[in-house]
Amino acid sequence: MSAFIIRRWWLIRNRLISSIALAFIVPLILSIVTVFGTKNIIINSINGQSYEVWVLPGLMMFMAAVLITPLIYRDFFDLRIHNKALISMTLAPIRKSTIILGILFSSLLEVMVIIAIGLSIYSILFPQAVIIGHIGYIILYSIIFTLLYGNIIILLSLLTERISVFISALLTTLISIMFACGLFIEFEFFPLTMSTIFQYFPLSMVSIACRSILFIHTFDTHNTVASIIITLLLIVINSFLLKRKMKQ
């Protein structure tokens, strides 16, 4: 695992200026675009929280998804179809699941640093919205969300060889996350049938569980455990697909 972390650090060093700029620009833009526009439409959540407070967990999860997407794309799609670094990794005497976990966790470290910066920026923009007792839970569920989402993107990367198909699937996934996973809009705003279906999406389970413990003060065992199990299953599936794609 340390080798993957060192590799990630070297990649960051090679693009240090752009990485630092990205760490501040992405959280700032997402916070401004998401909250300033929407809070005039949705003033309070169904349970009575102000929109700035309610949307924070979803905003951090979406930010994590946006940030980890190019990292996954580079390692599991671009390098694979161009027969670069990923080939060398798969030839090493380590399990394919270790490669997937190593890349995921090293990418996760980079993303979580930016999430911490994002929380700081959000607290400056909306000082009343960031509750100290909520930060630990937001980070924890953002990690679960990122690992689950990362595995979904790895699955998409391994299932296609065409950039056009991958980008289309990626954009569809991101749009679905924005509107159908309860990150920015509550499920109750949708028709009952759609709302019921959306709540069973794996990524929706993470946002539901996070807000349950933050605003209802109830640990949602079902959605938390289910999302973790789905993540583990995806790691197994992706390991199998990676092995087949590399013909090993």
Say if residues 210 and 137 touch (Cβ distance below 8 Å): yes
Burial 43-82 (b: 16+ CB within 10 A, else e): eebeeebebbbbbbbbbbbbbbbebbbebbbbbbbbbbbe
| Averages of pLDDT over each 10 residues, the chain, 248 residues | 68 77 87 80 76 91 92 78 59 69 87 92 88 91 95 89 86 89 88 90 94 92 95 91 72
Identify the CA nearest to 8 among candidates 71, 65, 63.
71
How much is the pLDDT for 247? 63
What is the reported pLDDT for 224?
Answer: 95
Among 52, 98, 123, 107, which Cα is nearest to 74's?
107
pLDDT at 90: 52
Range of the domain at 63: 2-245
Q: What is the pLDDT of residues 101-158, one digit of tens each?
A: 888 888 898 899 999 999 999 999 888 888 888 999 999 999 999 999 999 999 988 8
Distance CA 10, CA 27 (A): 23
Residue 78 main-chain phi, psi, to 5 deg: -60, -50
How many domains does the structure of the chain reveal?
A: 1
C-alpha closest to that of 202 among 157, 150, 244: 150
User: Which residue type sits at 61?
Assistant: M
Name the residue with tokens 């309070």.
44
pTM of the prediction? Answer: 0.89
pLDDT score of 136: 93
Q: Which residues contact 78 (CB under 8 A, 6 or more apart)?
A: 84
Question: Which pLDDT belongs to residue 206?
Answer: 95
